Amino acid sequence: MIQKYSSALLEDAVNEFSKLPGIGRKTALRLVLHLLKRTIPEVETFGEVVVRLRNELKYCKLCHNVCDEDTCSICRDPSRDASVVCVVENIKEVMAIENTGQFKGLYHVLGGIISPMDGIGPNDLEIESLIDRAKTGAVKEIIFALSTTMEGDTTNFYIHRKLTGIDIKISVIARGVSIGDEIEYADEITLGRSILNRTPFNDSFRH
Amino acid sequence: MIQKYSSALLEDAVNEFSKLPGIGRKTALRLVLHLLKRTIPEVETFGEVVVRLRNELKYCKLCHNVCDEDTCSICRDPSRDASVVCVVENIKEVMAIENTGQFKGLYHVLGGIISPMDGIGPNDLEIESLIDRAKTGAVKEIIFALSTTMEGDTTNFYIHRKLTGIDIKISVIARGVSIGDEIEYADEITLGRSILNRTPFNDSFRH
């Protein structure tokens, strides 16, 4: 259904909001009407923050995490173990892993995963810079923490092959039944894998 | 859980987006990361459109619909019947009714409905201007098309009382079982009302 907007400005704003992922035209209109009810300084702040973000945000030269300086606070932290690098898809995964408090190494943010369907190939990702980091000899272990999907596995294998010949330990985060899940509701593939990849009893309860 | 953002700019942007209705911090982060992938001119357009919307959008002097000029295209349309005014809550309802193509009169946008819980009283709405329109004598009929909720009915009754003594026809949009609904699934109040307010057979199939 074609909505007839009574104002070109309103239509422009709805168009802009509906370009965002997961936001259709109805939601876009709701957000735009909400902004109209806010004060002018509030809306100006909103607009400025978005533009400043895009213009001024930097990416860490080492791990490609977002930051406000040349290197990120994680890479600059001397208490972290620079010999272990966790490879993730995006900064969302950095945040998720940081929230667990279980990882004290550094990260490497690929900026996506190999996905031919979306036109994303290895050259669109920070894979070369990861190989370069591995070649320096400072990194002893690389942990893959990518999505457990076809695309994630493709990326794992691609990078794994690129690392051939470099003396480095390569591991993948454990895949299995989620903690708190009931076995009867676990999917077959996960359950099957978690039996094949069973761990020694005492190791399973480490914190 | 407190998210630790690696960039203050990123955190500001997430904060701004999560002020929008129905957008939590996770969705806000997803939207912000999406904007980071767009080109700088695209993001600047986004920011500018939002600010221009708030600064330059006008409200029709007659019906309070949004527009780019002093009066809206509906009020300016000489083919429309200026003697019938449909009272609606917001511009979303104007669009919804316009999409039906069934109404050829003018509108009056209240800008909300009376809702003491949300601190919205009659003086926060465009009720006085509606009474003024009714007093001019140019309006022969006022149709209430407000939500069929407690707040909508309160607003109906409040305005109805304010119109006492003015020679004007007042009607409310029909309430009943939605077209396409099965009777057995209609709620009791709607079904009960639709029996009480039954219409002559031939009137029900007018287009």
**Domains annotated on chain A, with CATH:** 8-56 (1.10.8.420), 72-173 (3.40.1360.10)
Segment holding B98, helix H or strand E:
helix B91-100
- Each residue of A42-92: pLDDT tens digit? 999 999 999 999 998 889 999 999 988 889 989 999 999 999 999 999 888
Instruction: Write down the pLDDT at residue B137.
Output: 87
Looking at the predicted structure, is the pLDDT value of residue A193 above 90? no
Task: With beta carbons less than 8 A apart as the criterion, state whether A130 and A159 touch.
Answer: yes
Residue B36 sits at the chain A interface (C-beta within 8 Å)? yes
Instruction: Write down the pLDDT at residue A42.
Output: 94
Q: What band does A207 get if pLDDT is binned at 50, 70 and 90?
A: low
User: What is the ipTM for the molecules in this complex?
Assistant: 0.76
Residues 112-131 of A with CB under 8 A from B: none
CA-CA distance, A176 to A193, in Å (whole number)?
Answer: 7
Chain B residue with Cα closest to A73: B6
Q: What band does B68 get if pLDDT is binned at 50, 70 and 90?
A: confident
- Each residue of A127-176: pLDDT tens digit? 999 999 999 989 999 999 998 888 998 999 999 999 988 999 999 888 88
pTM: 0.74
Burial classification of residue B155, based on how many CB atoms lie within 10 Å of its CB (0-12 exposed, 13-18 middle, 19 or more buried):
buried
CA-wise closest residue to B133 among B95, B104, B106, B102: B106
Residue A158 sits at the chain B interface (C-beta within 8 Å)? no
Q: Which residues of A touch B34 (CB under 8 A)?
A: 20-21
Instruction: Write down the pLDDT at residue A200.
Output: 73
